Amino acid sequence: MELSGSLANNLRNAIASCARYRGRQVYRETMLHWRGIAHEARQSAIADPKVKFAIDALVTQLEIALIEYE
């Protein structure tokens, strides 16, 4: 399923930001924001099973990108 709208854009932007900041320190608030986006996306996937697979794929990419900052 093709995602459109702010949720998919927010996930893609967070993934891109993680890539841009790779190897640099990131503010705690930025990490909380990125994790919040992932959390909201997971909740949306539960609420709308039609987009679950696509959202899960983007959230997984974001979570993998965030592992570097832990």
Which residues make Cβ contacts (< 8 Å) with residue 41, sequence separation at least 6?
Answer: 7, 10, 11, 55, 58, 59
d(CA 40, CA 24): 25
1 pLDDT tier (thresholds 50, 70, 90): very low
Candidates 54, 1, 12, 68; CA nearest to 37 is 12
pLDDT digits (tens, 9 = 90+) for 10-43: 999 999 999 999 889 999 999 999 999 999 899 8
pLDDT at 4: 47
Per-residue pLDDT for 70 more than 80?
Answer: no
